[in-house]
Structure 1
Amino acid sequence: MTTAQEISASIDIPGRKMDFEFELDDIPRHWFADDAFRSTYMNALSCLFPEGERMFMDAVRAHQNKISDPRLLEQIKGFIKQEAIHGHEHAQYNDYLKKWGYPIDRINKIEKAEKVWMKKWVPKSHRLAITCALEHFTAIMAHQVLTDPQATEGMHPQFKQMWRWHAIEETEHKAVAYDVYQQAVGSYWLRVITMINITIMFCLRTTLYQLIFLWKDGELFNPKTWWRGFQFYFLKPGMVRKIWRDYLDYFRRDFHPWDHDNRALLGQWEAEAQAYKPV
């Protein structure tokens, strides 16, 4: 039987040059199933990515000198390429959100100031543990985007294309930061305690930005909007309910991201990725 570590070492991580050209005149404000809650949730997620991706790259780079495995070193290069492109594309996406009056510049300042503070005051081992935790979040959410039609049902085609591309690449590189952490740091307790902290902070930060967007949209006190949010999380598509078990796996001592062997998705969606050239 192939082990998770063997699967991880077998994964190629190409950088892909992206060319998303959003035509905002064609995109409605509530672009996800005409649903204010779903649309603002995805927009809030996107606001976390540009500075978050930079932190991920820095955290992995800071431990690269402790890695001797040539295969992992090669994967680190691919990881950095992919995250750099993700940050760039989401920065463009976020700029487009200004059209709807969202305070994107202020949010960007908050995100940047926090990451500067973290780089100065948070030990690099802790920043790598944070990266592992957030990469697990993105990996299990990406799995839902790629496997559950309800997870993207009703998305505007332009944004759907971008989120599915991001999900493919998050799946490809989901173990890189973890493998670096295991070789360079290895502490189980730091890993799981960090996940608890990050779960709280990730949910709070996403919720804060979403509340701002809902307020700007005049939907903050609309009971129908919150009912749709409850459905989104727990009923249909039931995002929290569906990722909960995969999330808890992270707390096993012997956990590895490729215990969730979804390599088949990479081939299944390869035709979509062929629209973009590796760089």
Structure 2
Amino acid sequence: MTIPRILIIAGSDSGGGAGIQADIKTVTMLGGHATTAITSVTAQNTRGVQAVHVIPSPMVIEQIDSVAGDLGVDAIKIGMIGSPQTAHAVADRLAALDGVPIIFDPVMVATSGATLADAATVAAFERLMGMALIITPNVPELCVLTGLAIDNADDLEAAGQVLARRFGCAVLAKGGHLPHQPQDDAPSVHDLLIRASGVSEYRMPRIETRHSHGTGCTLASAVAVGLGRGLSVEDAVDRAEAFVAGALFHAPGIGEGHGPLGHAMGTTPFYHTLAAADANGLDASALAAQWGDRA
């Protein structure tokens, strides 16, 4: 099978924790090839977002045309969209890519609390949600998109069902913002995959860390890789949930605020390649000498 080609339409995070940077790392670690259409550039670190520069809509479309016309696209992940003009322009352009699964993460607020989408941009999300195979809102985003209060897992499901019926898509409702549920013996995270055939619950022990910047981007991009490989929505979400849990567990703990995930799971993949070469009797000494102490 050829490598899955994942088109990422999202903003850049200069701190490398979320956005395009998290997307590329996720797609690469899961065996795909990431192409990008950058919608905005942020000056951002683990403490917050200091500045945002929105890329003009025609340039976003030029990026999409450039990569789609040459490399091809097996799945599309949409994150931070930048402006209502870009939302509509992207919807117009993606309508021509018939049959390509679209995963939309309706990014509104960064982990630090910075607003990444104004009211007009959120209103323009309607078209993109109508085109998506699956959307991946968290609790605050679900509250905005549905107007409902969400205090527990039942509320999470009810809000997700509203979006699923309205747009005819699957909804991966992320429950990381929910308070501790009384029925749980230990703190856990509830995510719900809501689709026409039923609801699947993902309940995982909560990893207590402030280094969770980029979890939403990572989850959506991981789902995109699975769909680009031809997996079902259910199987793609299964693998994506496991990947995010592993990346959270291996967060390197850098930065003074909300730090990035450990997408490489605490490993240096190139060195694993060298070890495998040595184990199979191949001469990896030249590569080892060339790379030396580089990690």
Same fold (TM over 0.5): no
Identify the structure with the greater strand proportion: 2
TM-score, structure 2 as length reference: 0.28
Largest Rg, 1 or 2 = 2
Determine which structure has greater relative contact order: mean sequence separation of CA pairs < 8 Å that are 6+ residues apart, divided by chain length.
1
TM-score, structure 1 as length reference: 0.30
Identify the structure with the greater helix proportion: 1
